[in-house]
Structure 1
Amino acid sequence: MDLLSQIFVEPFALMVEMPDLLVQTLWEGFVSGVLYALIALGFVLIFKASGVFNFAQGIMVVFSALTLVGFYAMGVPAILALVLAIGVMFVLAWTVERVVLRPLVNQPDIILFMATFGLTYFLIGFGELVFGGEPKQMITDELFLPTGATEFDLGGGYVRIQHLDVAAAVIASIMIAVLGVFFSKTRIGRALRAVADSHKAALSVGISLNQIWVIVWFAAGVVALVTGIMWGARSDVSFALQIIALKALPVLILGGFTSIPGAIVGGLIIGLGEKIGEFYWGPVVGGGIETWFAYVIALIFLLFRPQGLFGEKIIERV
């Protein structure tokens, strides 16, 4: 009976008794969810263009952030370093299209997927060679990102809002909205959907796979850079960030691999769910809910709705 009380009664009673802690938990979960959605957006863009899960998106987050910090360490002003880092991501997109994707047009999806594995380990090795393996500090102040926090009273307690988290949520939300409109309402967006449906059909109507892939990989690279800045500002820039980026996989399973709104909803479900679960139900299971909650939810969705909340059902005639 005590266990049932700890699971079904005490957490909800605590939410009512201490609303300040509930609001604090919800805010932290919302910020994490928006950043998860931003990470997932990079995966969605490339999946929509090639039908392949880009395993390299995680290391692109790390590599882009290390590039930014590396340019600044060389004496380049912060804003110029940001511009140069964006330029590096364009060069990376162009190189991936020329060296990796172009020779693999119309190859099975598993071939393209394995190519992203190779790209991942190349970027890890190249990144360690150029930047070293030790963690770096993100240039938060130099990029004019806000610091400090604001506290306000709620229900007899205090809610603390980090200014950096507010900036991260706003910037990520704007980027998600802009990219969502760009790829759903523009000519490039329509071409992207055509490429996702069939490479051969897209080529037959004059759509350039080469241009589409460069654009999409560049957009994913910019998303990776923004993600690396925000996550790096909250901790450090290190190769461990690619593990955080892989949280996008359960987000995509929840929302659907081809859906930008799905990435948003999936990110919020994971972000809010793991924070609430860790704080209110963590003591019951000994903590650590944040490390496995997302993957359990993803497993449940795979069993009952494998296409995700917003994913398209695939019907094959046999």
Structure 2
Amino acid sequence: MNFFLEVLLGGTLAGVMYSLVAIGFVLIYRASGVFNFAQGALVLFSALTFVNLTEHGVPFIVAFAVTLFIIFIVVLLIDALVLKHLVNRSVITLFMATLGLSYVLEGTAQAVWGTQVHGLDLGISDVPIDFYGIHLSKFDLVATLIAGSLVIILSFLFTKTRFGISLRAVADDPLASQSVGIRLNYIWILVWSVAGLVALVAGLLWGARLGVQFSLSLVVLKALPVLIIGGFTSITGAIVGGLIIGASEKLAEIYLGSLIGSGIENWFPYLIAILFLLIRPTGLFGEQQVARV
């Protein structure tokens, strides 16, 4: 029984890593109704920027602040060169723009920081902690604490502040929002900046576990099942979806791997996502879209 709980809790904690990436997608989707394919590239860009600064002797806190400032500058450039020219365009147009931005960000990161793999030490040792006979990863526990803090802060931001109300208005009807004085580009800049902060935190945690390399941008693929299960519009759903994916893939690898074969954790989350698309397309916490004819 202890082994089962160890696998279940270990997978659940590891799923928080997927949730961190998924939150960035939720933020952009709530503001523009589009899947931001550039989020993975933003994770890579922020992690590469941070690790290169620290390797040149910049202290952790300073490197974190400088990276955030650089991300904000990048967001301003994205808005000035791309987003403000795509206001009220179709969803597919915005999606293709984010797809192009992902390659631009990856290419820029490669040109500025190079292509070598970097190790990243956050000072969080990945050692087991004995919890009543159950061994849990210290790294996963810290990642869970960070994700929980982000959820609380972002939930407050989007439900209790004027910015959150404006964001929900923009998500419901961009044209009506502009007609009452809400500046759409201003909202997009703020949302992309917050998504950049989330990308930086996710990039640091993923980079510490896998190394800072260009495959880091592919974490977006693991975020897809999380979003489908939790719902594209819910921050809480991103967390719950990540926990479900993390736990299910580890349990499947341990208990079904011997029957089906190893590597099941690479595709099992997508099987669950397909089932959700068939049964509950909006996800557990997604908003039901109502179209008036």
State the TM-score, normalizing by the size of structure 2: 0.95
Query: What is the aligned partner in structure 2 of residue 25 from structure 1?
Result: 7
| Runs of 5+ unmatched residues, structure 1 | 1-18
Q: 1:92: Cα distance to partner?
A: 1.6
Residue 136 of structure 2 aligns to a residue whose secondary structure is strand
Residue 272 of structure 2 aligns to a residue whose secondary structure is helix
- Please give the alpha-carbon distance, in whole angstroms, between the structure 2 residues aligned to 1:315 and 1:202: 18
Pairing partner for 2:188 from 207, 213, 216: 213
In structure 2, relative to structure 1, the CA distance for the partners of 1:153 and 1:51 (3 Å cut) is closer
Q: Which amino acid aligns with 2:57?
A: G
Q: Which amino acid aligns with 2:240?
A: V
Q: Percent identity?
A: 49
Q: 1:70: Cα distance to partner?
A: 1.0
Q: 1:51: Cα distance to partner?
A: 0.5
Residue 287 of structure 2 aligns to a residue whose secondary structure is coil
Q: 1:308: Cα distance to partner?
A: 1.2
Query: What is the aligned partner in structure 2 of residue 75 from structure 1?
Result: 57
- Please give the alpha-carbon distance, in whole angstroms, between the structure 1 residues aligned to 2:45 and 2:18: 18
Q: Do 1:37 and 1:266's aligned partners in 2 also have CA atoms closer than 8 Å?
A: yes
Q: 1:172: Cα distance to partner?
A: 1.3
Query: What is the aligned partner in structure 1 of residue 172 from structure 2?
Result: 197
Q: Do 2:129 and 2:137's aligned partners in 1 also have CA atoms closer than 8 Å?
A: yes
Alignment of 1:67-106 (within 5 A): 67-106=49-88
Q: Which runs of 4+ in 1 moved over 4 A?
A: none
- Please give the alpha-carbon distance, in whole angstroms, between the structure 1 residues aligned to 2:129 and 2:249: 24
State the TM-score, normalizing by the size of structure 1: 0.88
Q: Which amino acid aligns with 1:124?
A: E
Please tell me whether residue 52 in structure 1 is matched to residue 34 in structure 2.
yes
Q: Do 1:38 and 1:176's aligned partners in 2 also have CA atoms closer than 8 Å?
A: no
Query: What is the aligned partner in structure 1 of residue 246 from structure 2?
Result: 271
- Please give the alpha-carbon distance, in whole angstroms, between the structure 1 residues aligned to 2:255 and 2:241: 21
In structure 2, relative to structure 1, the CA distance for the partners of 1:147 and 1:251 (3 Å cut) is closer
Query: What is the aligned partner in structure 1 of residue 161 from structure 2?
Result: 186
- Please give the alpha-carbon distance, in whole angstroms, between the structure 1 residues aligned to 2:163 and 2:131: 45
Q: Which amino acid aligns with 1:233?
A: A
Q: Which has the larger radius of gyration?
A: 1
Q: Do 2:233 and 2:286's aligned partners in 1 also have CA atoms closer than 8 Å?
A: yes
Q: Which amino acid aligns with 1:73?
A: E
In structure 2, relative to structure 1, the CA distance for the partners of 1:254 and 1:153 (3 Å cut) is closer
Deviations 1:58-106 (A, max 9, x none): 1111111110001112221222111101111111221111111100001
Q: Which amino acid aligns with 1:243?
A: L
- Please give the alpha-carbon distance, in whole angstroms, between the structure 2 residues aligned to 1:246 and 1:224: 15
Q: Do 2:21 and 2:219's aligned partners in 1 also have CA atoms closer than 8 Å?
A: no
Please tell me whether residue 232 in structure 1 is matched to residue 207 in structure 2.
yes
Q: 1:20: Cα distance to partner?
A: 2.8
